[in-house]
A and B are shown apart, each in its own frame.
Chain A
């Protein structure tokens, strides 16, 4: 039984997307910008109306209350949002060791949002999502604004987390080298379809 099963999902740009992701597996999706990758992730997280059905451990999304669905099938969007004064107010829980592995040597929880750099926001946004303890992670170009070292640190944390927590990951990326490092399977969006590439690893 796959952890996440997507059946015949239609979005504005994509038709009949079907794919399954197993627990502890990472599937990468690439495609030109504007090809509908973000909208597909939003449909899976049930943020946009869509046709088709998505199953988590064989339970259709419609049978799970929407907030609970979004905690379990968590979307990390490309641009993070912050609304309160300090970092800590945006967190339910945070794993200290994760902070460390993403390069925070002291706790940023009482830092002011104003002070954060783009890269820090992006790393903290990932930690915020991991705090939900999701079963599926939908990542929309999570390392796009990071320098190489921070990007590598995030990749390692994600791969480690994916294995230890048996999370299913869908990772949208433009970077062929990154896809080769993190993905077990790779799909590409061509016009309105999604096509599987030859198996990577």
Chain B
């Protein structure tokens, strides 16, 4: 099977559907018409830009460009993690905590995949490294922001209970233990659901794309399984790390609950 190249006319037809949807929601006064159009425009611009960047990076094949792109992806994901939390840590920790956790989990899992599992030669071949890192960052970002949001919000709501436990001589880990565990579970739920539903309810996007691009289905399936497992591991370890660091940060060196370290996003 040959890859059929899409023309501007093909994409325009799909765009017309989105515009029709926006018009319909305008008529129904749903208040999301402009959001739909802005998001759709962002999709076009952002994807065209990343397409250009990838084209350049694939052509030059130099690890420095790959490193730069990875850093940019990491920082953008870190910003997104921060933006999604209603209660977040003040100062640079609000950004640094999620970003560091993502860095630890996504980069190490991607490296493991490139060096050991897929064993690409050279390991920084951008056709493999960029999509892998992108998918890991995107999913880890979800898990970490869900986990941290749950942690900070529950700690805020249950501060009296946490302090009552401290007054009974519990250490910080035990005093916030059930809240930390809940937060980790919250962060892991989407990826567990995605694994359980994969192939039954939905065909995962990456696999669909590969099949459309002409890969044999079994090859696409093997890659999809690999990606699912990598994403799960990356999300899991990233969420563990973020919730663990985040919980510790809510207490000071004398194990006092310091919720003034949190701020409420406007």
Contact = CB atoms under 8 A, between A and B. Distances in A.
Contacts of B160: 79, 81
Per DSSP, are chain B's interface residues mostly helix, strand or loop, or mixed?
loop
Contact of A45 (B158, B167, B257): B167
Contacts of A128: 168
Nearest to A48: B256
B125 interface: no
B164 A49 contact: no
Interface residues of A, number: 20
Per DSSP, are chain A's interface residues mostly helix, strand or loop, or mixed?
loop
A66 B168 contact: no
A134 B51 CA distance: 67
B252 interface: yes
Given A81-B161, A81-B164, A83-B161, A71 B169 contact: yes
B256 A75 contact: no
A75 B167 contact: yes
Given A46-B254, A49-B252, A70 B169 contact: yes
B256 A77 contact: no
Q: Which of A47, A70, A128, A129 has the most CB of B within 10 A?
A: A70
Given A81-B160, A81-B161, A47 B167 contact: yes
Contacts of B80: none
Contacts of B164: 77, 80-81, 83
Contacts of B255: 66-67
A4 interface: no
A45 B252 CA distance: 15
Nearest to B257: A47
Interface string A41-64: 000011111000000000000000
Contact of B169 (A67, A80, A83): A67
Nearest to A138: B167
22 contacts: A46-B254, A46-B256, A47-B163, A47-B166, A49-B254, A49-B258, A66-B256, A67-B169, A67-B171, A67-B255, A68-B169, A70-B166, A71-B168, A77-B167, A79-B160, A80-B164, A81-B160, A81-B161, A83-B158, A83-B164, A83-B165, A129-B168
